[in-house]
């Protein structure tokens, strides 16, 4: 039976990749060199008790998209992306010419309505006196009373109209609903905006959370033991203050959402960034970790110089996620093995050993 060429090619691929690495950093097929003075570090074991982990996205509990509630031209934008703002601080100002004209007209209508009401009440009081002396009929008194009530209603309507146009005038000044950080700016001075057009977005950095999707088979274990550890890309690790498991699964992915509340952090992580969330309630096999600075990278190939039996050799790795300077190793090395901390120094040691052998 003839061998399948495609299978043979795939089987030979790792060897070819290592040969490519060897051309740049030593040949692993040759006898490994003595380490000389090459500094080594130990491959770290996976975190004990960390449990199985999933990637999630950081989001703000309180985030607001500020939109225009009236039309106008942007006169001033006081804050930019990344600025910290106080509650009630002015962020954007719009022109208020039309809105102010509406306020003036509504105020004039209210004064006219109040004058009509004053006259109607005076007539009503006078007719009451005449009715007591039976100088006017009951029908005439009813007409005067109806005119007074109509004048009151007109006064109330004018007051409501003034409040409405006054609110439209207030909408020309956009303020921060709470203290936070501006995350998005969408307008510039001079632009004309209409109702509903986005102006800015902001969030409160003090309250952040992460939402991850876990298999429904693991959801009950997390619900029974709602504890989670969070690891950020900068290497920081924190414990979640609260873990909430959603009561239902997504019918499309069959996963259950888990919301993880974060403690107050300084500096606070950026919303939209990723983090690794581990749940001790779910058993999972962790992976050893190596420093990113110890890696030899050639295209898509990653390797390290391993010290074994007093000799250095280049070994290819399959990597996982990275947190700070630590990279997970799915395959290639085991916890406790020692690797060269400086790949360049390890290469020099191999070259020197080859010359000595010659």
Q: pLDDT tens, 218-256?
A: 899 999 999 999 988 777 889 999 999 999 998 888 889
| CA 348 – CA 335 distance, rounded (Å) | 25
User: Is-above-0.75 flag for pTM?
Assistant: no
pLDDT of residue 284: 59
| CA 281 – CA 229 distance, rounded (Å) | 11
pLDDT of residue 86: 94
pLDDT at 33 over 70: no
Q: pLDDT tens, 168-226?
A: 677 888 999 999 999 999 999 999 888 889 999 999 988 899 999 888 888 999 999 99
Please list the residue range(s) of the chain that carry CATH number 2.40.420.20. Answer: 5-46+287-357
pLDDT at 5 over 70: no
The residues with which 244 forms a beta bridge, in sequence order, are: 259
Q: Can you name the CATH fold of 52-62+206-279?
A: Elongation Factor Tu (Ef-tu); domain 3 (2.40.30)
More confident residue, 24 or 67: 67
Please list the residue range(s) of the chain that carry CATH number 2.40.30.170. Answer: 52-62+206-279
Q: In the chain, pLDDT over 90 holds for what percent of residues?
A: 21
Q: pLDDT tens, 102-124?
A: 677 778 888 888 888 888 888 88
Confidence band (pLDDT; 50, 70, 90) for 14?
very low
Please give the CATH number for the structural domain made up of 64-201: 2.40.50.100
Confirm if 42 and 306 have CB atoms less than 8 A apart: no
| CA 323 – CA 47 distance, rounded (Å) | 13
| CA 308 – CA 17 distance, rounded (Å) | 21
Please list the residue range(s) of the chain that carry CATH number 2.40.50.100. Answer: 64-201
CATH class assigned to 5-46+287-357: mainly beta
Surface-to-core class of residue 139, CB atoms within 10 Å of its CB (0-12 exposed, 13-18 middle, 19+ buried): exposed
CA-to-CA separations, 259 to 55, 56, 166, 237, in angstroms, rounded: 12, 10, 42, 17
pLDDT of residue 28: 43
């Amino acid at each position: 039976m003839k061998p399948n060429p495609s299978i043979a090619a795939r089987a030979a691929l790792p060897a070819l990749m290592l040969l490519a690495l060897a051309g740049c950093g030593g040949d692993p097929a040759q006898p490994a060199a003595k380490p000389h003075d090459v500094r080594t570090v130990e491959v770290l074991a996976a975190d004990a008790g960390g449990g199985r982990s999933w990637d999630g996205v950081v989001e703000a509990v309180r985030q607001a998209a500020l939109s225009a509630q009236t039309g106008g031209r942007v006169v001033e934008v006081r804050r930019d992306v990344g600025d910290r703002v106080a509650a009630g601080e002015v962020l954007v100002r719009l022109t208020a010419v039309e809105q102010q004209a509406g306020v003036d007209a509504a105020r004039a209508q209210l004064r006219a309505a109040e004058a009509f009401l004053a006259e109607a009440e005076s007539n009503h009081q006078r007719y009451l006196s005449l009715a007591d002396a039976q100088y006017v009929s009951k029908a005439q008194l009813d007409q005067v009373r109806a005119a007074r009530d109509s004048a009151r209603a007109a006064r109330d309507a004018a007051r409501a109209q003034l409040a409405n146009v006054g609110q439209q005038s207030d909408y020309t000044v956009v303020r921060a609903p709470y203290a936070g950080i501006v995350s998005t700016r969408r307008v510039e001075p001079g632009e004309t905006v209409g109702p509903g057009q986005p102006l800015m977005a902001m969030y409160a950095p003090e309250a952040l959370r992460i939402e991850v999707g876990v298999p429904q088979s693991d959801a009950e274990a997390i619900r029974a033991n709602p504890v989670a550890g969070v690891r950020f890309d900068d290497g920081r690790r924190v414990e979640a203050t609260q873990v909430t498991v959603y009561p239902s699964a997504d019918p499309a992915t069959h996963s259950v959402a888990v919301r993880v509340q974060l403690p107050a952090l300084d500096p606070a992580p950026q919303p939209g960034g990723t983090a690794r969330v581990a749940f001790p309630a779910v058993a999972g096999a962790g992976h050893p970790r190596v420093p990113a600075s110890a890696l030899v990278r050639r295209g898509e190939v990653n390797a390290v110089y391993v010290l074994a039996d007093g000799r250095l050799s280049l070994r290819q790795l399959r990597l996982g996620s990275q947190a700070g300077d630590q990279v997970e190793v799915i395959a290639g090395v085991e916890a406790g093995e020692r690797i060269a901390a400086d790949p360049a120094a390890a290469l020099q040691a191999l070259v020197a050993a080859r010359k000595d052998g010659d």
